[in-house]
Every structure is written in structure tokens, then in C-alpha cells.
Amino acid sequence: MVLDDASDTTRAVSNSHKLISENQADLIIGSSTTPNTMAMLDTVASGATPVITLASSARLIDPVDDKRRWVFKTPHSDSLMAEGIARHAAANGVKKLAFIGFNNALGETFWVEVEKAARQHGIEIVGKESFAPTDTSAVAQTLKLVGAAPDAVVVGASGTPAAMPARALRERGFKGKIYFNHGVANNDFLRVCGPACDGAWVPVGPVMVADLLPDTHPVKATAQAFAKKYEAANGPGSVSLFAAYTWDIGLLLQQAVPVALKKAKPGTAEFRAALRDALENVKNLPTATGVVNMSPTDHNGLDERALVMATVAGGKWKLQQ
């Protein structure tokens, strides 16, 4: 069964309640946004039903308490990606950093991680601005950021709306580095951003540059396999990190479901508990995104092998060499 929450938290809660109480779902996949998944936590915990979310925030699974023990996620955590940005920025001479992001849970969560990672790498934060995903201009915010004279600006946003502040920064004459979070890792974003994004840096999953990975990379084979199948169905250049996250759910279930079936029958509370336990014990699983090692304290299971730094050149993703 597929239900649309329309990016509305109230509907996300009612949908999850319906799936649990009326449909006796053994697993819920979703939501695809952080605010909606956060809103679902109480419902899925009281219903003792495992959830695999497609949202990115680490707050959804950390700490693994009584609510979050039922929640798993395939997307990279903000903390991993923010660390990748800060490490790259520090290594490339960035001393002062500014931030502009969505004025919602996604933007604020990424801001917290960027601020922490920057501090750990000795980088000074000189500005913070926000904008709504539906805004049509970010001129006022970018003028303030340019006035703070940062060496680099991090854009904490997702999808094509993230292109707006980047274009505004370049139009205001900003010559420094621009970093995006992994929420822009698709080719539609590159089309919308255009030349303004040339030279920008993005921490991405290996799948976005699968053919450029060295043969020694632990997920090159699985990333290439997904990219080949996805582009065969959707056209050249259509590969998306978001689609890879969904594919990875299937790989997780291929490992976890047979284990749970040995302990209980689907449609029972015992099966849902067994499936939760099996997901928590997935080890050394290569996916399109990384190598997954779940644990009682980590319901994402990704490490630095799930991250590569890519730059934009001529409207295409290029792997940092």
C-alpha cells in the first residue's frame, strides 16, 4: 500500500496510524522528509512497527531510545556529510565559513552539524542565514553573507530550491567556494543551477560517480549495478542518490526478512519484532550507497566509505582526485 503524506506532518501521522492499525503493516517505508518522520515516531513506537525512513537527519535514529529503536534509515546522516565538507574546506585553505539553509528541520539540523564540524576543524563561522523552500529570492540573505567575506558558503538545502542561493551568491560577485549538502545529488539540480554551480563541492554517495570510482572502492560494483539498471529504465544521466537510498532498502530487506521468517509469521507482532532485530544486525552489506553495519546504537550503519567529494564541472558531477 502506498499513501501520500503531501509533505504534511499531520497526514504523515494519520497515514502511519492507518498502516499500523487498519492494515497491520509489518514495515513502513517513509517518510521521505525529516519533519514528517519525526512526527511519526510516537505512532510507530506505540505500534511496535519497524520503519525505514528516506529522510536524512541523524535525530531520527540518534539516540536509539525507546522510540527510535523502531526506526532505521538508508540516507547519509547530516553529521557524516558535514564532516566531509569541513574536512575538505580546512584542507583547501578555508578559514571563514558562512551558512545559508532551509528554515525547516532539514536546514536547522544540517546547520548544527556544520557548525560543530567547522569548529572541530578550526574554521570560524561568520554568518548564518535561512530561506524557505518556496521562496523566489534570496538576495537579501546573500548580500549579508557576501558582506561577511567568508572563504566559503555552505548551502543546507535539498533539491532544486538549493540552486537559488548559489545563483544569488555568484550574481553578487562571490568568488569563494560553495558547498552543498547531499540533498542536491541529482542531475535535475545541475540543470536548474547551471553555470553558477560550476566549481561547487558536494559530498555525495559513490553511486553519483560510480564509473569514476577506483576499482578498489568497496561499493563500486554495487553502485555501478544500481546505476546501470536505473538509467536503463529512466534514461542516461537520470541516476539519483534518492533513488539509490530506496534501492538500498530492498537490499536490507533481502538480508533481514529471511532471518525474521525463521522466528515468526508475517502479520504478527512477533514478526515485526523479529524484523526489527534482524535489521539491527545487518553486517558488512555493500549497497549502492556504502557498506552497512547496523548495531543497537547505529540504525544507519554507514561510515566514511559512503562518502566521496564531488565537484561540478560543465554541468556534470566529477570525482575529486
Containing domain of residue 296, as a range?
Answer: 9-76+245-305
* pLDDT tens, position by position, 241-274: 999 999 999 999 999 999 999 999 999 999 999 9
> At 10, is the pLDDT very low, low, confident or very high (cuts 50, 70, 90)?
very high
Specify the number of domains making up the chain: 2
Span 293-300, average pLDDT: 98
* pLDDT tens, position by position, 215-236: 999 999 999 999 999 999 999 9
72 and 82 assigned to the same domain: no
182 and 110 assigned to the same domain: yes
113 and 62 assigned to the same domain: no
141 vs 99: CA distance, rounded Å = 10
Identify whether 213 is part of a domain: no
Look at residues 173, 204, 235 and tell me which one is the last residue of a structural domain: 204
At a CB cut-off of 8 Å and minimum separation 6, what does 233 contact?
A: none
30 near 51, Cβ under 8 Å?
yes
116 and 192 assigned to the same domain: yes
Number of Cβ atoms within 10 Å of the Cβ of 22: 9
Span 183-206, average pLDDT: 92
188 and 106 assigned to the same domain: yes
47 and 96 assigned to the same domain: no
pLDDT for 35 equals: 87
pLDDT for 185 equals: 85
150 vs 232: CA distance, rounded Å = 42
pLDDT beyond 80 at 321: no
Identify whether 192 is part of a domain: yes
Identify whether 105 is part of a domain: yes
What values do phi and psi take at 82, rounded to 5?
A: -65, -40
CA–centroid distance for 177 within its chain: 21
Look at residues 204, 226, 260 and tell me which one is the last residue of a structural domain: 204
278 vs 17: CA distance, rounded Å = 23
187 and 253 assigned to the same domain: no
CATH of the domain at 54: 3.40.50.2300
264 and 160 assigned to the same domain: no
- What the block records as the C-alpha cell of 7 is 509533505
Identify whether 180 is part of a domain: yes
1 near 19, Cβ under 8 Å?
yes
Looking at every residue in the chain, the average pLDDT score rounds to 96
Which among 102-106, 191-195, 282-286 has the top mean pLDDT? 282-286
Identify whether 56 is part of a domain: yes
pLDDT for 156 equals: 96
Span 55-68, average pLDDT: 93
> At 34, is the pLDDT very low, low, confident or very high (cuts 50, 70, 90)?
confident
pLDDT beyond 90 at 105: no
Identify whether 223 is part of a domain: no
Question: ∠15-109-218 over CA atoms, to 5°?
Answer: 90
Identify whether 181 is part of a domain: yes
Parallel, antiparallel or unpaired: strands 51-53 and 28-29: parallel
60 and 94 assigned to the same domain: no
pLDDT beyond 70 at 136: yes
Does the pTM of the predicted model rise above 0.85? yes
Of 39, 152, 58, 156, nearest in space to 107 by CA: 156
Question: ∠122-128-133 over CA atoms, to 5°?
Answer: 130
Better pLDDT: 57 or 42: 42
168 and 122 assigned to the same domain: yes
Look at residues 172, 204, 236 and tell me which one is the last residue of a structural domain: 204
Write out the H or E segment, with its range, that includes residue 270.
helix 269-280
pLDDT for 56 equals: 84
Identify whether 317 is part of a domain: no
99 near 127, Cβ under 8 Å?
yes
87 and 37 assigned to the same domain: no
Q: Where are the alpha helices (DSSP H) in 133-265?
A: 139-147, 163-171, 187-193, 220-234, 241-261
36 and 57 assigned to the same domain: yes
